[in-house]
Amino acid sequence: MDSVGRYDGKRVVITGGTSGIGLATAKALTAAGARVLVTGRTPASLAAAETELRPAGIVLANDAVTDIETLAERAAAEFGSVDLLVLNAGISLGASVADTSEAAYDEVFAVNAKAPFFTLQRFLPLMPPGSAVVLTTSVSNRKGIASTSVYSATKAALRSMTRTFARELIDRGIRVNAVSPGPVDTGILERSMPAEAAREFLSQIKADNPMHRFAEPSEVAKAIIFLAFEATYTTGAELPVDGGASQL
């Protein structure tokens, strides 16, 4: 995607970076010379990311909610400061209002909304002028998709945070933007829904999309990298990468 050496010397932290969009972003950046630290929780994904990202990538088993301090300390030790923080870690919940438990509600908000807020808070001392933050929202934050009320609400919260973070940090020289993916079949739904229900849901989403296909994780990665390093006069924005779903 980018020429070798384009991002030499850039120091990048990606939460949820061992699979899907996060891993695709990490691979593109390491291929272009950046040093990247990614986090994840699933042993198989951690092991696969170790193989795919070495030697320029650092893979850390890390809980997005409870291990923020550990992540920040590791980033400081490895990099000193951070040029790009990608807040991508998230979980899904496919359940109707009637079927959503309080525990599930709390978990999704903790991972998808609370963790990004406090991760950014902790990383601010590590981010110099000229650095950037990119959050991963979702097309669901503006569309009424059945059985996604809690997940969609967390993504809407991130969209709002993107604006307020951008306003608060503009005088520090830190840009904050969001990428809003549409359907990307990364396997996240299969981990939160019965397999058959996930297949039916994904099939319907694909049929309803104007492009009638899912995005490749690498397509979203390109948007993240653009917002991070190329869109130098852009802050507080959300860039849809959704096959036209939010626009058409």
Please enumerate in sequence order all residues whose Cβ is within 8 A of that of 227, keeping only pairs 6 or more positions apart, or say none: 132, 134, 175, 177, 178, 179, 234, 237, 239
What is the spatial distance between Cα 201 and Cα 198, in angstroms, rounded to a whole number?
A: 5
- The span from the CA of 241 to the CA of 62, in Å, is 27
Catalytic residue (one of 7, 151, 206, 233)? 151
- Candidate list 10, 155, 206, 222, residue with the active-site label: 155
DSSP 29-89: HHHTT-EEEEEE--HHHHHHHHHHHTTTEEEEE--TTT-HHHHHHHHHHHHSS-SEEEE--
Which structure tokens are listed for 240? 């849809």
Q: Is 151 a catalytic residue?
A: yes
Longest dimension (CA), the chain: 52
Is 206 annotated in the active site? no
Say how many C-beta atoms besides its own lie within 10 A of residue 18's C-beta.
30
The one-letter amino acid code at 145 reads: I
> Strand locations in 143-187, DSSP E?
175-181
Strands (E), the chain: 11-15, 35-40, 57-61, 84-87, 132-136, 175-181, 238-241
Length, in residues, of the chain: 248
Give catalytic residue positions: 151, 155
